[in-house]
Amino acid sequence: MRLEDYNRFLQEQFWKAYDHAARAKENGYDPEKKPESIISFSQAETIEKLLGLKGFKERFEELKKTLPPLEIPFKIAEDIILGKFGFFPEEKAAELALKAALASLTPPGTTAAPIEGIEKVLIKRNNDNTRYLAVYFSGPMRSAGGTEQALSIILADFIRRILKLDRYKPTQEEVARYIEELRLYERGKNRFQYKVAKDQIAEVIENLPIEITG
């Protein structure tokens, strides 16, 4: 069997199974009257449907032809903040921009980290009343690779700059909390490969332009 025939066979069987599921749902025994699974055939289509960004698929395919892979997420984030896919409140735009940018960076099919691993994005205030960006991460972010996890912080800072927000200015109490939570994790859950000194952790936290929380 040729590859094209095999792919066609898989799609035919998929749609048959989906049709059976749809007819079963119509009987009304389940809370939903139709299958809840989103059907998509590309990475871009998946992102568009999960985040509700109309026109994202076409824009993503267009950018793939003109930009290096690592530049695409930044352009996507900028497009969302500037309203290319519709206008959203600042916090919602920042959240969508970060999720879509990270989803376009992670390998195709890996949507748990960018979609569910970023719980929310808020605009909060420092003690001096300036506004800054806070990103709330959750467990599924662990499914992303180390590169993607690190780039999520860079992408968030990029979004912060487009929104013209100030940097995060943690208090000494907040810095101490970060250190204590890290030490609690080391003692109670798992040790890291490298023991990071207290002053090194403090230096990182004090120089982060966004708040990492969640």
pLDDT, residue 150, reads 87
Considering 30-34, 167-171, 182-186, the range whose residues carry the highest mean pLDDT is: 167-171
pLDDT(111) > 70: no
**What contacts 143, CB < 8 A, 6 or more positions away?**
110, 112, 113, 117
**Residue with more model confidence, 187 or 98:** 98
50 within domain boundaries: yes
DSSP state letters, 20-75 = HHHHHHTTS-SSSSS--PPP-SSHHHHHHHHHT-TTHHHHHHHHHHHS-TTTHHHH
Tokens of 67: 């930009």
122 in Cβ contact with 90 (< 8 Å)? no
Tokens of 80: 């969302």
Distance, in Å, from the CA atom of 17 to the CA atom of 187, rounded to the nearest integer, reads 49
List C-alpha distances in Å: 167 to 50, 75, 112, 170, 174: 30, 21, 28, 10, 15
Structural domain harbouring 167 = 42-212
23 within domain boundaries: no
Distance, in Å, from the CA atom of 45 to the CA atom of 41, rounded to the nearest integer, reads 7
DSSP state letters, 115-153 = IISEEEEEEEE-TTS-EEEEEEE-GGGGGS-HHHHHHHH
Residue range 137-161: average pLDDT? 87
pLDDT(9) > 90: yes
131 within domain boundaries: yes
pLDDT, residue 161, reads 98
107 — pLDDT class (breaks 50, 70, 90):
low
Name the burial class of residue 75, with classes exposed (0-12), middle (13-18) and buried (19+) by CB atoms within 10 angstroms of its CB: middle
115 — pLDDT class (breaks 50, 70, 90):
confident
For the entire predicted model, the pTM comes to 0.85
pLDDT, residue 179, reads 93
15 within domain boundaries: no
5 within domain boundaries: no
86 within domain boundaries: yes
The percent of residues above 90 in pLDDT, for the chain, comes to: 63
For the chain, the domain total comes to: 1
**Three-class secondary structure of residue 164 per DSSP:** coil
135 within domain boundaries: yes
107 within domain boundaries: yes
pLDDT, residue 191, reads 74
